Chain A
Amino acid sequence: MSPSATADTLVSFRDVSKVFVTGSKRRPRTVTAVDSVDLDIRRGEIFAVIGYSGAGKSTLVRLINGLEPISSGTLEVAGNRVDGRSESQLAPIRRKIGMIFQQFNLFTSRTVAGNIDYPLKRAGWKPEERKARVAELLEFVGLTERAGNYPEQLSGGQKQRVGIARALASNPELLLADESTSALDPETTQEVLGLLKRVNRELGITIVLITHEMDVVRATADRVAVMDSGRVVETGTTAEVFAHPRAQTTRKFVSSVMRTVPRADEIEKLRREHPGRLVLVDVTDQNRIGDVLSDAARDGVSFNIAFGGISILQSQSFGTLTLSLTGSDESVDRAVESLRAVTTVREVSE
């Protein structure tokens, strides 16, 4: 076990890669879907994995319950090695891991109650226990009146609630949510995310949530990993990642929901309107940008806020401002240096 894995680590990836071999036998082509990933998911948290399509996030989540075997590295779930196990050896591990899907994947030949009952039946529960458990789960997801309906009679949000109930049936420790709201409209998305939060808070189930929407991360996740081309390029608490996105991909994601950084065409307009030196300044609770700027004013630098925004996430302020600084070259340089001392400053690129 690696030193960073602790007792409250539920899933731990150590240098995990997944390589798919496609093409013909003569001319095989390999695609590295997951590339040397190190990751620890802690018990009780909602952990989001965000990335563009093809970044490897869906593959990553399928490694956790062994739907796809890893190619190299080690992978542990609740202290059990998942790698190198046969389908039948994986069965007991999988029963402790629920999974929900973008397309819901409900059994069309079974009713709502039948779908939820199915995993219990397979796990060998007694009929009376199954009945009670199904009723309890229907109640939890608010679909008691829909017990006898078939999936095609339900809306998308209701289908996903059945999916969640079915995934929770055999009391898993971990719930894998693979783009679970991507097929839903914004309102239904909020409803399903609200339910996932209840699953986490009320039942104490750890959730790994795959998404390509930063809004979903912002609304639910405690921590987030950003994936790009099979690699995890950034990991941190959601607040940290929103406030100080380091990787290029992360910045793009953050700016997709936090339009605080101007786009190239907007920069041109800003340049036309603001003759001063344009700099991007990150704002958080901790830094005192106002103090620095009033000191700079005394030094003969005037400033304008050209672009930007500040928001609050998990009770922390964060955002980015584009400042236009005017004054003598030396005094502007001094102002930028003082800003650098308290926060991250980037020049507005050409």
Chain B
Amino acid sequence: MSLQNIMENWSNYRRGAEEGGHHKYEHRWGMAINLDLCIGCNACSTACYAENNLAVVGKSRFAKGQAMHWLRVERYWDESQNKSSSVTPDYPEEGASFLPMMCQQCNSATCEPVCPVAATYHTPDGLNAQVYNRCIGSRYCSNNCPYRNRYFNFFSYYESSWPEPLNLQLNPDLTVRDKGVMEKCTFCVQRIRAAKDKAKMADRKVQDGEFTTACAQACPTGAIVFGDRLDETSKVAKLWQQHEVKLGVYKQHKQNPEKRGYRIFEELNVDPSVMYLERVRDTGI
């Protein structure tokens, strides 16, 4: 039985990510985020709160760092160059940079192998899934995430976050998580599920642009592009190709500075599925 299973599939079971792994991927959902278009408006984050039933934790807990935002817009400030300059332009460049940061759905995710109960695993869609029901809250995954993109339910938020009648705004497509469970960006897996079901009913493949994640939908400048990287014709696959960003490597070898694509912390060999396009700056900071 299982012994026979091992004997028959031994070499298959011993394949790591370098040889394609055990999975046959149906999709590989990915993103391309153009930082040049990001204006730091936080609409994506807000949309995420609405779509994914994220708890609003309140001021004091937010200050303690217990917030639950799956998508955060990180702000970095460069040293302003205009302080020394005599001419003050109308709109001085203060060097603010925005970085929408959500789970990077790494293909060699560091959070996955450390979970003691396999509550987080890799789906055949190339997603890094979190099974809330299986989670026992050891929080090792969050510690081992270089992006710090996993959020823990430190309290039971149902009562405090959605008092009547706010509970009516909850998205019925997914659960409200209770205390002691780790959660993180899922690339709006409920939307993926719905689109896949719909395509299956119509006996066709999922088409690019048929649906998108809440953050991409809400982005006023269209900085976030979501899609299937296995679909050659999708917008996201084209962007990855255009900027010569490859999956499965820990360093992108490219000479042309016009190709702005990069992945964050890819030198850690986590193989993230989100590509960022570097900002084009006129001030040369």
- A and B interact physically: no
